[in-house]
Amino acid sequence: MTTRSIDIPPRRLWLGLAALVVLPFAEFAAFFWVADRLGLSLTLLLLIATSFLGVSLLRHQGSSAFRRLLRAFGSGEASGGAARESLMLAAGGALMILPGFVTDAIGFGLMVPALLRSWKEGSAVAPSRPARAGGDRGVIDLGRDEWKPVDE
């Protein structure tokens, strides 16, 4: 049996370590800011509620993403998008279960289906228009209601 070593670039390693050091301070700052605005008891209740929300979202969205991953594996399709979506859902759910407002925000961002679809397709901006059948690939064919003349 051979062992493989994982080569992590030093820059990424430092970035990960910096995040682990900065995250607790950011969580404390966010907690105290929210507690100052809402009060301690309501802030604690909100933290518990977001943890339960994370569990329920992970249960609901995670099972459907896992089914899509299994379907992609079963049909022999390239499953990079399904695998990425499942990983993002798992990471988002784990972050939402952890107590803290910063991790909840990051976790919720990972679990939002619209963001998942746009990240899965490789674009966080507006999706491109599909090409119309028949016609040159370099020509954009617009319908009558999709353009207007511009006076020069």
pLDDT, tens digit, 9 for 90 and up, residues 8-25: 777 778 888 888 899 999
For the whole model, what pTM was predicted? Answer: 0.61
* Structure token pair of residue 72: 């992609």
Mean pLDDT, rounded, for 78-104: 79
Scored b (16 or more CB within 10 A) or e, 12-23 reads eeeeeeeeeeee
- For residue 131, give the nearest of 120, 141, 121, 143 by alpha carbon: 141
| Residue keyed to tokens 């509620």 | 49
Considering 31-35, 78-82, 136-140, the range whose residues carry the highest mean pLDDT is 31-35
* Region of residue 111 (left: phi > 0; alpha: psi -120 to 50; beta: else): alpha
151 or 124: which leads in pLDDT: 151
Residue 110 contacts residue 95 (beta carbons within 8 Å): yes
What average pLDDT score do residues 114-129 get?
51
